[in-house]
Amino acid sequence: YAPTPSSSASSGDFLHCLSASIPSKLIFTQSSPSITSVLAAYIRNPRFSTPGTVRPLCIVRPTNASHAQATVLCGRRHGVRVRVRSGGHDYEGLSYRSVQPETFALVDLANLRSVRVDRARATAWVDSGATVGELYYAVTKASGDQLAFLAGLCPTIGVGGHFCGGGFGLLLRKYGIAVDHIIDAVLVDAQGWLLDKKAMGRELFWAIRGSGGESFGIVLSWRVRLVPVPPKVASFIVPVSVNDGAVDVLTKWQEVGAALPDDLFIRVIVTNGWASFQSLYLGTCDALLPVMRGRFPELGMNRSHCREMSWAESVLYVYVGSGQPIPVTDLLNRTTSMDTSYKVASDYVRRAIPRDVWAEIFGWLAKLDPGIMIVDPYGGAISAVPEAATPFPHRGGVLYNIYYQNSWAAGNDGEPNVRWIRDLYAFMAPYVSKNPREAYFNYRDLDLGRNVVVGNVSSYNPDDYFRNEQSIPPLVPVS
Looking at 79, 166, 257, 380, which residue binds ligand FDA (CB under 6 A)?
166
Q: Residue 56 or 79: which CB sits closer to ligand FDA?
A: 56
Q: Is 192 in the site for ligand FDA (CB under 6 A)?
A: no
Is beta strand 194-195 parallel, antiparallel or unpaired with respect to 182-188?
antiparallel
Looking at 27, 59, 171, 218, which residue binds ligand FDA (CB under 6 A)?
218
Question: Shortest gap between Cβ of 352 and ligand FDA (angstroms)?
Answer: 23
- Choose one: 7-15, 89-97, 243-251, 263-271; the region binding ligand FDA (CB under 6 A): 89-97
Q: Is 9 in the site for ligand FDA (CB under 6 A)?
A: no
Residues 133-152 touching ligand FDA, rule: CB under 6 A, are 152
Q: Residue 90 or 102: which CB sits closer to ligand FDA?
A: 90
3-state secondary structure of 366: helix
Distance CA(116)–CA(159), nearest Å, equals 14
Nearest to 227 by CA among 261, 166, 180: 180
- State the amino acid at position 151 in one-letter form: A
List, in sequence order, every residue forming a beta bridge with 223; answer none if it has no partner: 125, 184
Residue 305, Cα to own-chain centre: how many angstroms? 29
Looking at 84, 200, 224, 260, which residue binds ligand FDA (CB under 6 A)?
84
Contact (CB, 8 A) for 275 and 385? no
Which residues 6+ apart lie within 8 Å of 52 measured at CB?
none
Distance CA(80)–CA(57), nearest Å, equals 9
Looking at 79, 158, 371, 391, which residue binds ligand FDA (CB under 6 A)?
158
Question: Shortest gap between Cβ of 347 and ligand FDA (angstroms)?
Answer: 15
Peptide bond into 370 cis (omega under 30): yes
Size of the site for ligand FDA (CB under 6 A): 35
Looking at 46, 79, 133, 161, which residue binds ligand FDA (CB under 6 A)?
161
Question: Shortest gap between Cβ of 127 and ligand FDA (angstroms)?
Answer: 9
Q: Is 210 in the site for ligand FDA (CB under 6 A)?
A: no
Q: Is 168 in the site for ligand FDA (CB under 6 A)?
A: yes
Residues 250-279 touching ligand FDA, rule: CB under 6 A, are none
- The four Cα atoms 469, 470, 475, 479 give a dihedral, to 10 degrees, of -20
Q: Is 154 in the site for ligand FDA (CB under 6 A)?
A: yes
Strands (E), 48-199: 58-60, 81-85, 104-108, 115-118, 123-127, 147-148, 182-188, 194-195
Question: Shortest gap between Cβ of 454 and ligand FDA (angstroms)?
Answer: 21
Which residues 6+ apart lie within 8 Å of 392 measured at CB?
166, 177, 179, 209, 210, 441
Question: Shortest gap between Cβ of 177 and ligand FDA (angstroms)?
Answer: 7
> In the complex, which residue's CB is closest to ligand FDA?
213
Looking at 223, 347, 468, 472, which residue binds ligand FDA (CB under 6 A)?
468
Q: Residue 362 or 467: which CB sits closer to ligand FDA?
A: 467
Q: Residue 67 or 83: which CB sits closer to ligand FDA?
A: 83
Q: What is the largest CA-CA distance in the chain?
A: 69
List, in sequence order, every residue forming a beta bridge with 127; answer none if it has no partner: 221
Which residues 6+ apart lie within 8 Å of 231 measured at CB?
144, 145, 146, 310
DSSP state of 219: E
Question: Shortest gap between Cβ of 93 and ligand FDA (angstroms)?
Answer: 7
- Choose one: 30-38, 91-99, 138-146, 226-234; the region binding ligand FDA (CB under 6 A): 91-99
Looking at 56, 133, 155, 169, which residue binds ligand FDA (CB under 6 A)?
169
Distance CA(277)–CA(270), nearest Å, equals 9
Distance CA(262)–CA(276), nearest Å, equals 20
Q: Is 109 in the site for ligand FDA (CB under 6 A)?
A: yes
Question: Shortest gap between Cβ of 245 and ligand FDA (angstroms)?
Answer: 28
**Could you give the string, one character per residue 416-445, with x where binding to ligand FDA holds by CB under 6 A and - elsewhere?**
--------------------------x---
Q: Residue 150 or 352: which CB sits closer to ligand FDA?
A: 150
Nearest to 110 by CA among 140, 85, 147: 85
Q: Is 379 in the site for ligand FDA (CB under 6 A)?
A: no
Distance CA(420)–CA(259), nearest Å, equals 32
Looking at 95, 278, 390, 406, which residue binds ligand FDA (CB under 6 A)?
95
Which residues 6+ apart lie within 8 Å of 337 measured at CB?
none
**Could you give the string, one character per residue 36-75, with x where binding to ligand FDA holds by CB under 6 A and - elsewhere?**
--------x-------------------------------
94 φ/ψ sector (left φ>0, alpha ψ -120 to 50, else beta)? alpha
Contact (CB, 8 A) for 182 and 223? yes
Distance CA(33)–CA(374), nearest Å, equals 40
Question: Shortest gap between Cβ of 284 and ligand FDA (angstroms)?
Answer: 25
Q: Residue 204 or 242: which CB sits closer to ligand FDA?
A: 204
List, in sequence order, every residue forming a beta bridge with 276; answer none if it has no partner: 239, 269
Binding site for ligand FDA (CB under 6 A): 44, 83-91, 94-95, 109, 128, 152-154, 157-158, 160-162, 164-169, 212-214, 218-219, 442, 468
